[in-house]
Amino acid sequence: MAKYFALFLIAVVSCTHAAREDRKIRIIPQPVSVVQTGGFLRLDTSYIDFYSSSSDANNAIKVFQDELKDDLQITFSSQKSSDVEVTIHDGLVSGGYSIEVDRKKATISASDPEGTFHGLQSLRQMILFSEKKGNKILIPCCKIEDFPEYKWRGLMLDEARHFFGVEKVKQLLDMMALHKLNIFHWHLTDASGWRIEIKKYPLLTTVGGKGAHKNPDGPVKFYTAEQIKEIVAYAGERFITIVPEIDMPGHAAAANRAYPEFSGGGSEAYPEFTFHPAKEGTYAYLTDILREISELFPASDIHLGGDEVHFGNQQWATDRQVQSLMKKMNLSDLKAVEKYFINRMSDSVKSLQRKMLGWDEIVDSEVGPDNAMVMWWRHDKPEQLKKALENKYNVILCPRIPLYFDFVQHESHKWGRRWRGAFADIEKVYTFPPDTLPGFKEFNDQILGIQANVWTETIVDDRRLDFMIYPRISALSEAAWTKAGNKNYEDFLERLKAMLSFFKDRDIYYFNPFEPGLSPEAEGI
């Protein structure tokens, strides 16, 4: 009898624990404050009354309702006596929100439309991840206060090396929005391909858009200007800013295939790698391109790259026009020529009422911090981060380790990149940034945020892209949004389980950190 009584107690405890688990509030990224007040709001699984007193919230509400229609086939009506009410008023941090759920309704408050959008995405997760009984969704009564730690919460996708297309980019923007990521950095040009239509220079796409990193003879693939406008608008509806990157003076081989008259040559390993720094026509040509870019993207920033120029600038040393430029402008070496180029193009960006973004090499170009921002990517050069901060640049943190999502994410993985054995597992992403980074404490107000970069030399198809992004995107979102003191990796893993089910329901192929041995790597390398 004692044996059976013990088994009964175990069963009761297990059921109670399961019930408590069902009543947890699972939101990624973790809010600033969550207080459960007891009881539930019972929402119908197919019908919700929804009311807003402010037309400023209409766009955020429309996206939320469209998403829930896709998620659960829920329909909506608008009544003042509602299940969900949205209000906009002063007093909350920009981009932040509060949610109060009682037994009658959920009320979302924010001081701006962006905050409303974030609050609705949190409510969406609460609806999706809460217990369901019969035709009711049991939302735990609670009070939530929330706002972001960093204003720049970014993800970069490289489509120059391999192209993914409109629908895949929209899906990625959807997942970014759910996770409250707000910057999509779009790497659209590189040696492998030029992926954006420039009407004044059509050969950039018809010639430069041919092939991919793994297949140089592949078909021409690029985005038309109309497709760019469509994607920019789609992102804007989700309060995501798209920052375009047009790489220069290096990584220019695709452009140089199209317009060889502007090529500055390259090296044996990197042929035709650079734009020509001594031809006035080069600067007019690139400024024309940036003018069309600025018309397509309303973002205040344009990324010019500026990295790894030494890979292919050797021909500058013997080019007659470059040598003449060096003598005329008193440029002592090829590094000084590179600085000259970056400063000229920085001026072009400024003339378009935009601000230049660049990789951390631009710190050495001495372009002023009033005209440029820096992305620190070389984790093995912490001194470059410190130098950027000491020189008063605003900085976005995106070091290879742990924020390059083309690096493998588990010790058993064979495909993908490592850095001297190091890789970017989900826990390293989650716990970034450490406060031991050089200058982190002294210049914290200059650190705008963090960003993960998805380079695609080893990512050739949608399945592999998903596998490398998910679920690290969830860890990234909490690293960027949530205060360090509120982060708890074990609690995050518990909340992540519900998010993995969400990915699975949407046919997103993800790495499962809970069963790494049963989660084979995506193929297509």
Q: What is the pLDDT of residues 191-229, one digit of tens each?
A: 999 999 999 999 999 999 999 999 999 999 999 999 999
Same domain, 83 and 158: no
Query: Quick one: pLDDT at residue 415?
Result: 84
Going by pLDDT thresholds of 50, 70 and 90, the confidence category of residue 160 is very high
Where is the domain boundary, 146, 167, 193? 146
- Segment 371-375 long-range contacts (CB within 8 Å, at least 24 positions apart): 371/346, 371/347, 372/346, 373/301, 373/448, 375/303, 375/451
Where is the domain boundary, 101, 129, 146? 146
6 within domain boundaries: no
- Number of Cβ within 10 Å of residue 440's Cβ equals 16
Average pLDDT over residues 494-501: 97
Number of domains, the chain: 2
- ∠ CA 379-472-374, nearest 5°, is 35
Average pLDDT of the chain is: 93
Same domain, 486 and 353: yes
Average pLDDT over residues 128-153: 96
Query: Quick one: pLDDT at residue 89?
Result: 86
pLDDT digit string (tens) for 39-56? 999 999 998 999 888 888
Average pLDDT over residues 468-484: 97
Average pLDDT over residues 156-163: 98
- The answer to whether residue 522 scores a pLDDT higher than 80 is no
More confident of the two residues 314 and 416: 314
Query: Quick one: pLDDT at residue 10?
Result: 41
- CATH number for the domain including 480? 3.20.20.80
Going by pLDDT thresholds of 50, 70 and 90, the confidence category of residue 6 is very low
Largest pairwise CA distance in the chain: 99
What is the rounded distance in angstroms from the CA atom of residue 313 to the CA atom of residue 276? 9
Going by pLDDT thresholds of 50, 70 and 90, the confidence category of residue 22 is low
- The answer to whether residue 506 scores a pLDDT higher than 50 is yes
Answer whether 401's CB lies under 8 Å from 428's CB: yes
Query: Quick one: pLDDT at residue 5?
Result: 40
The secondary structure of 369-387 as a DSSP string is TTTEEEEE--TT-HHHHHH
Query: Quick one: pLDDT at residue 24?
Result: 86
2 within domain boundaries: no
Same domain, 129 and 177: no
pLDDT digit string (tens) for 100-140? 999 999 999 999 999 999 999 999 999 999 999 999 999 99
179: alpha, beta or left? (left if phi > 0; alpha if psi -120 to 50): alpha
- Number of Cβ within 10 Å of residue 417's Cβ equals 15
What pTM was estimated for this model as a whole? Answer: 0.93
Where is the domain boundary, 146, 177, 210? 146
- ∠ CA 100-105-109, nearest 5°, is 40
Residue 327's Cβ-count burial label (10 Å; 0-12, 13-18, 19+) is: exposed
List the catalytic residues. 190, 251, 308
User: What is the bridge-based pairing of β-strands 355-359 and 301-305?
Assistant: parallel
Same domain, 344 and 318: yes
Same domain, 490 and 410: yes
Question: Of the ranges 80-89, 145-154, 332-341, 488-497, which one carries the lowest mean pLDDT score?
Answer: 80-89
User: What is the bridge-based pairing of β-strands 241-248 and 183-187?
Assistant: parallel
265 within domain boundaries: yes
367 within domain boundaries: yes
Beta-bridged to residue 153, according to DSSP, are: 450
Same domain, 129 and 200: no
- The answer to whether residue 30 scores a pLDDT higher than 70 is yes
Same domain, 121 and 159: no
Going by pLDDT thresholds of 50, 70 and 90, the confidence category of residue 523 is low
What is the rounded distance in angstroms from the CA atom of residue 469 to the CA atom of residue 157? 10
Beta-bridged to residue 441, according to DSSP, are: none
465 within domain boundaries: yes
4 within domain boundaries: no
72 within domain boundaries: yes
Answer whether 187's CB lies under 8 Å from 159's CB: yes
Query: Quick one: pLDDT at residue 8?
Result: 39
15 within domain boundaries: no
Beta-bridged to residue 510, according to DSSP, are: none
Answer whether 149's CB lies under 8 Å from 482's CB: yes
Same domain, 103 and 244: no
Same domain, 461 and 428: yes
Residue 217's domain spans which residues?
152-518
Structure tokens belonging to residue 407:
């690096």
What is the rounded distance in angstroms from the CA atom of residue 215 to the CA atom of residue 130? 46
Same domain, 128 and 176: no
Going by pLDDT thresholds of 50, 70 and 90, the confidence category of residue 239 is very high
Kindly report the three-state secondary structure assignment for every residue of 65-111: HHHHHHHHCCEEEECCCCCEEEEECCCCCCCCEEEEECCCCEEEEEC
What is the rounded distance in angstroms from the CA atom of residue 347 to the CA atom of residue 362? 14
- The answer to whether residue 1 scores a pLDDT higher than 70 is no
Same domain, 123 and 170: no
What is the rounded distance in angstroms from the CA atom of residue 381 to the CA atom of residue 399? 10
Residue 142's Cβ-count burial label (10 Å; 0-12, 13-18, 19+) is: buried
